[in-house]
Amino acid sequence: MWTAPLTLTVLASCTAMNPQTTAATAYLDAIRPLMIENSMLADRVLVQAAAIYNEAETPKEVAAAWETEIVPVAEHLADQAALVVAPGPYQPRHAELVSIWTDRATAYRSVAEAIRVGDPDAWMPARKEAENAKIREENWFNQLNENVVPLGIPLVDEYP
């Protein structure tokens, strides 16, 4: 008669997480779909960077790829990130991620425009802004991991 309630009590106490772990797990679960989309975006950017480096496509083809494959995904990712409601302790950190991804989307749009019009003077600053966003993103992931690794729940593939 007492076995069932005792068993449930023991099981509940074994599976209960502390508030930090609960918040971290909820946040990582909320951004997991964003991470998948971010990986797809990174793949597209790498393909186009290789096309530029190898001169494998015409400037018109590269511009079209940036305008149809990269910029829309970057903008969508920033928009979707803005819709995530992060748990309390992760709200400031998440706001920073939204800012980073918004800045990256803006930089990618500028890169696409510079390629489309063939303006190297516009391309260099746009590329620098994209690189700055990349560095900020890497730092963001490093800082997030510093908080979640001690809880036993590090991000996987945080740098797509």
Least Cα distance to 101 among 68, 76, 126, 65 occurs for: 76
What integer pLDDT is reported at residue 12 of this predicted model? Answer: 40
**Quick one: CATH architecture of 23-149?**
Up-down Bundle (1.20)
Question: Which residue's structure tokens are 């920073």?
Answer: 96
pLDDT at 111 over 50: yes
Higher pLDDT, 83 or 148: 83
Helix, coil or strand: residue 88: helix
31-72 pLDDT tens trace: 999 999 999 999 999 998 898 889 888 888 999 999 999 999
Task: Compute the distance between CA of residue 51 and CA of residue 66 in angstroms, rounded to an integer.
Answer: 11
Task: Compute the distance between CA of residue 138 and CA of residue 145 in angstroms, rounded to an integer.
Answer: 11
Higher pLDDT, 9 or 124: 124
pLDDT at 158 over 70: no
CB 133 within 8 Å of CB 100 = yes
Both tokens of 138, joined, read: 């890497």
pTM of the model: 0.83
**Residue 86: CB partners within 8 Å, gap ≥ 6?**
27, 30, 93, 94
CB 118 within 8 Å of CB 91 = no
Least Cα distance to 27 among 134, 159, 157, 147 occurs for: 147
